[in-house]
Structure 1
Amino acid sequence: PFNSGEGVGLVYADLWGDTEVGLTYKYITTSVSDYSPTGSSTPPAPFSAEGHIMNFNFVTYGFEYGLNIGIVTDFSYELPALLGLGNAISQTGLFTQQVVDDLLPINDSALLIGANVKYDAEKWFILAEYTRIDVDPSSFNIQDSAFVSGGIRYHDFTFHLTYGIDKGEPQYDAYDAMLPVYNGLPPANQAALAPLVFGTQAALEAQQEDSAYYIIGTRWDFHPSAALKLEYTNYSNDKPSSDEQLLSMAIDLVF
């Protein structure tokens, strides 16, 4: 939802010597009453955000490189399950409001950073990208993603290989603040409070990820306006543990 919305933008394009330069600035606001991430079973919930997005892109001969920065000054994602958990924490009277604020993604900010490089020598190419999403303490993880990809072209065929990683590190601020209070209670009170404390831990770890994948594929441009693509993807995740494979085929048409 950070990628679209209402706002204003500025675009600058020029040639600096042998380098093509493209600079973009956008101020975006977005509000969705029933947002749900694509492919997710998460129930729809209100989402709103506003921020600034800056893109710096350069091309020098066959070498492309760029930097993307997003400064999200305010966003809220009102997930009912998290709101209920935050309300339960408040009702105990044992924890400060900061604990609830460090759990809920309400009135938070975020920094989005992406860097990319690519070199294309016509018969072969290589590219890489790194992204980081750093958000205020909440149930949202700090996310790091990176991949490197390369390929060769032979007549109408392209053969390519990609390796990537994704890491989602939970932010335990809310849980770490609850734990000393919990440990200081008598055993009977600890037993009553345990579902709430460790339920908070589980909520913070819900997006935890430590995964890697590789993709092997080929593309056949059998027509000036059509291509056949075949790819095999192998994915493994250590947190939570899972392994998946995918074989996909597609025909791309251009009209």
Structure 2
Amino acid sequence: MKSFNKLFTLSLVTLAVSSVAHADVRINGFANFTGGIASSEDTLYGFEDSIDYANQSLFGLQVSGDVSENVTATGQIVTRGSDDFSANFEWAYLTYAATENTSISIGRLRMPLFRYSSSLDVAYSYHWVVAPASVYDVPFNNIDGIRVDYTGYSGDWEYGLQFVTGNVNNEFTLGGQPGELTINNVALVSADLAYENWKFRGVYAAGKVTFDIPALDAPLGQLGQISSDFESKLQAVDDSGVFYGASIEYDAFNWFVAAEYTGIEIEDSFYPQEENYYVTAGIRAGKWTPFITYEKSDINRDPKFVGDIAAFPAPLQVPLTQLVVGIQQSVMSENNTLSVGTRYDLSTSIALKADITKFTNDINDEEDSLVRFAVNYVF
């Protein structure tokens, strides 16, 4: 699958470059220079108790051009400090303007999962130093597939509808363990509504999910020696998963308040039901935008399938319980985060930001704190 995705992306880029060679090419860029330091002996979002300038810094270039009257090609390359500033194609797609209101895109695309999905890497587009991790930190932002966009008006309402289908294949980390995530046959629908000062959004997606996490091979193998049925129940192999979300925003220009909620469910697997949300508010006073944000992430549920263990002989119930519960607890977490910060618009393309974050682990009551500052610019 990875080889196909790379070949598919390379083919699109080659087609785009050759097609726009004699056309107007538009180049836009963005960068986030972010520094941070956690309090003594704390580790939070990759920052430790010595100042780090690379972890959340990035630089990106977006190139687009007209292939024909109705077709445009777009490519986006991003280098991230967390990846040693290696250059990666985040987007590479062609867009066909079918009508004045409808467009169809094919290639590697950003999925419309969140309120700020399309500009997630462009920190200049929002007030935070970094978008709230409780909601936005997912390993499936991009997809190889097709997206259909439709926009229109109805009276004083402005609306946008999107449909996406395709596949996801990414490296990720779960419960501190590295692995590979595959989501096939993704189908996503989203809707955006705007009315005067209000904005509303909803999204629902489904797909077949597979986790390949080497660290879980041993405990799942032990479970399989006792019961292959339980091993199958806990494994995440081509299991049905859903993602859903909603957001609301009120912007009075000199102040704003917004909230966003997301959930993830992979019912027939070891992965617990996940719920995340944030609430944020800020004031615009000239070039200054002070803000406050509260986040909550809850992946802490009663272990699944425990009630089925009673059907096994008594000598097997204890080891079964230990394995079934232990595998699920390895990925459970529950935390809340409070951030206070400010943004200063130095110019129409440069923003300076700083925030202080307090992170609380609700399972063991441990607390971490972090100070960050950033320069965001677009060109």
After TM superposition, the score normalised by the length of structure 1 is: 0.86
Specify the alignment match of 1:147 in structure 2: 278
Relative contact order, CA 8 A, sep 6+: which one is greater?
A: 2
Q: Pairwise mapping of residues 6-155 of structure 1 onto structure 2 (< 5 A)?
A: 6-32=144-170, 35-37=171-173, 41-45=176-180, 47-72=182-207, 74-92=208-226, 95=227, 97=229, 99-155=230-286
Shift of 1:112: 1.0
Superposition misfits of 4+ residues, deviation over 6 angstroms = none
* Counterpart AA for 1:121: A
Q: What runs of 5+ residues in structure 1 fail to find an aligned partner? A: none
Q: Distance in 2 between matches of 1:233 and 1:223?
A: 26
Q: Distance in 2 between matches of 1:8 and 1:180?
A: 46
Bigger mean CA deviation after superposition, 44-53 or 19-28: 44-53
How many aligned residue pairs are there?
A: 241
Bigger mean CA deviation after superposition, 133-142 or 241-250: 133-142
The answer to whether the Cα contact below 8 Å between 1:100 and 1:174 also exists between their aligned partners in 2 is no
Q: Pairwise mapping of residues 225-244 of structure 1 onto structure 2 (< 5 A)?
A: 225-244=349-368
* Counterpart AA for 2:273: I
The answer to whether the Cα contact below 8 Å between 1:102 and 1:173 also exists between their aligned partners in 2 is no
The reply on whether 1:163 has 2:294 as its aligned counterpart is: yes
* Counterpart AA for 2:203: N
Q: Distance in 2 between matches of 1:86 and 1:208?
A: 17
Shift of 1:96: 5.1
Shift of 1:181: 2.8
Q: Distance in 2 between matches of 1:20 and 1:46?
A: 36
Q: Distance in 2 between matches of 1:9 and 1:57?
A: 15
**CA offsets 1:176-219 (integer angstroms, 9 cap, x no match):** 4335536x12xxx77xx63x641331220122222111110101
The answer to whether the Cα contact below 8 Å between 1:164 and 1:213 also exists between their aligned partners in 2 is yes
Q: Secondary structure at the match of 1:37?
A: strand
Match of 1:198 among 314, 318, 322: 322
The answer to whether the Cα contact below 8 Å between 1:115 and 1:129 also exists between their aligned partners in 2 is yes
Change (3 A) 1:22 1:156: same
Shift of 1:238: 1.7
What is the aligned-residue identity percentage? 23
Q: What runs of 5+ residues in structure 2 fail to find an aligned partner? A: 1-138
Q: Distance in 2 between matches of 1:117 and 1:248?
A: 27
Q: Distance in 2 between matches of 1:145 and 1:46?
A: 20
* Counterpart AA for 1:199: L
The answer to whether the Cα contact below 8 Å between 1:56 and 1:68 also exists between their aligned partners in 2 is yes
Q: Distance in 1 between matches of 2:238 and 2:162?
A: 26
* Counterpart AA for 2:256: F
The reply on whether 1:221 has 2:345 as its aligned counterpart is: yes
Q: Secondary structure at the match of 2:173?
A: coil
Q: Distance in 2 between matches of 1:43 and 1:124?
A: 41
